[in-house]
Amino acid sequence: MIVVTGATGQLGRLVIAALIKKVPASGIVAAVRNVEKAKDIAAVGVQVRYADYNQPPTWEIVEDLEAALEQFREIATDLDTK
Ligand SMILES: NC(=O)c1ccc[n+]([C@@H]2O[C@H](COP(=O)([O-])OP(=O)(O)OC[C@H]3O[C@@H](n4cnc5c(N)ncnc54)[C@H](OP(=O)(O)O)[C@@H]3O)[C@@H](O)[C@H]2O)c1
């Protein structure tokens, strides 16, 4: 599974367009803060999940990523303390 953050932005859309040429759309998750804005992305078979950077609990909606996020949080905390 590949998760693209900022999927409704300029770069995110380019990344998704490139990815769907290489992997099945169902294996791509578009993390977005505005699900309505991602209707065209969902229409091509990409999984759209709500995830707002300012509301970390919503990140957990991106299934299978909790362990990775925990690792990220630990690294970020570690960097903060250095
Ligand atoms: N475009 C490029 O060619 C390019 C090249 C190299 C690096 N970058 C870097 O890549 C990043 C994105 O660039 P971009 O041009 O794609 O910018 P953009 O079009 O403004 O896209 C930003 C994306 O981030 C999302 N976003 C903003 N705040 C958020 C939040 N609180 N929670 C969840 N999502 C949030 C936006 O969501 P909404 O759609 O809902 O506003 C949008 O999808 C930037 O850091 C930029 O410097 C871009």
Domain borders along the chain are 2-80
Q: Are 28 and 2 in contact (CB under 8 A)?
A: yes
Query: What does the alpha-carbon distance between residue 38 and residue 4 come to, in Å, rounded to a whole number?
Result: 12
- Which ligand 1 atom sits nearest the alpha carbon of residue 51? 33
| Residue 26 pLDDT > 70 | yes
**Which option is the CATH number for 2-80: 3.40.50.2020, 3.40.50.720, 3.30.390.10, 3.40.605.10?**
3.40.50.720
Does residue 34 line the site of ligand 1, with CB under 6 A?
Answer: yes
Does residue 11 line the site of ligand 1, with CB under 6 A?
Answer: yes
* C-alpha 43 to ligand 1 mean position (Å): 21
Residue 30: what pLDDT?
94
Closest-CA residue, ligand 1 atom 39, reads 8
Is this model's pTM higher than 0.85 or not? no
Query: What's the pLDDT band for 48 if we cut at 50, 70, 90?
Result: very high
Query: What does the alpha-carbon distance between residue 82 and residue 80 come to, in Å, rounded to a whole number?
Result: 6
